[in-house]
Structure formats: structure tokens, C-alpha cells
Amino acid sequence: MTATRWLVPGLRPADKAAEQLQAQLHAAHRIASEVRHGDGVALVLISTDLVVWTDGDIWWWWTGHTTGRGRWIYNHASTANAATAARRIAFRYEEIRGNVRAVRAVLAG
């Protein structure tokens, strides 16, 4: 039995989207991350408090907030625009780190 191209890590839409986001985070914001491949999803591990996951169409990450019932609230972005998503994720990353000056720079830039 031969593997189809979707079964080869790095060729699935989720894998490509995760690697694209990882590259954008590093190039534009100097944020290091690690990509993990799953079954139809991929994760971009940035910190213990910030994990971005994708199905190849959308990226999701936790806002750091919960609903009144304690459910986590998530942000999302289309994988069609890695630069915008990376900027939003960089903002969240700096927010987690408590770096107010860097948050202002991300917003300005």
C-alpha cells in the first residue's frame, strides 16, 4: 500500500499552514516556535500559554479570557493571510509576557 500525498507530513494543508505561520512569526516578530503535525490538524507551539492550531483553513488560539461559565474564548484567523494572523498572535504573545512596550510596537506596526 502506498501513502497518498495527504499522509506525508508537511504536505497536508494543516501542516503547510502551520509552517507558514511559524515562518512569519519568526521573520516578522522574531518569535521562536515549534510545529507538531497531527491527524488533519497541526499545532504551532509558542509558549505553554500560547498554542495555535490549524486545520489548514483557520488558525485558532486562546485569548486568555473565559466566559461567565468558565469556557475558554478563542481568536481565529484565516490561513489566507499569515502576516495579519502573525501580528495578532505576536500581540497575544507579548501580552502573556507582560511586555507593554512590545505590545505597543506590534500595534503600531
pLDDT 10s digits, 56-103: 999 999 998 899 999 999 999 999 999 999 999 999 998 888 866 666
Full-model pTM? 0.80
**Dist. CA 51–CA 40, nearest whole Å:** 16
CB 59 within 8 A of CB 76: yes
Q: Specify the residue for cell string 507538531.
A: 36
pLDDT in the model for residue 86 = 97
Q: Report the half-sphere exposure of 32 (CA within 13 A, side-chain side).
A: 1
**Dist. CA 48–CA 56, nearest whole Å:** 22
CB 29 within 8 A of CB 86: yes
Instruction: Categorize the per-residue pLDDT at 48 as very low, low, confident or very high, splitting at 50, 70 and 90.
Output: confident
CB 19 within 8 A of CB 12: no
The answer on pLDDT for 5 being more than 70 is no
pLDDT in the model for residue 17 = 96
Instruction: Categorize the per-residue pLDDT at 2 as very low, low, confident or very high, splitting at 50, 70 and 90.
Output: very low
Q: Which helix (H) or strand (E) holds 21?
A: helix 13-29
Which tops the pLDDT comparison, 11 or 35?
35
Any bridge partners for residue 76, and if so which? 60
pLDDT in the model for residue 109 = 63
pLDDT in the model for residue 107 = 64
Q: Which amino acid is at 42?
A: A
What are 22-46's pLDDT values in tens digits?
Answer: 999 999 999 999 999 988 899 999 9
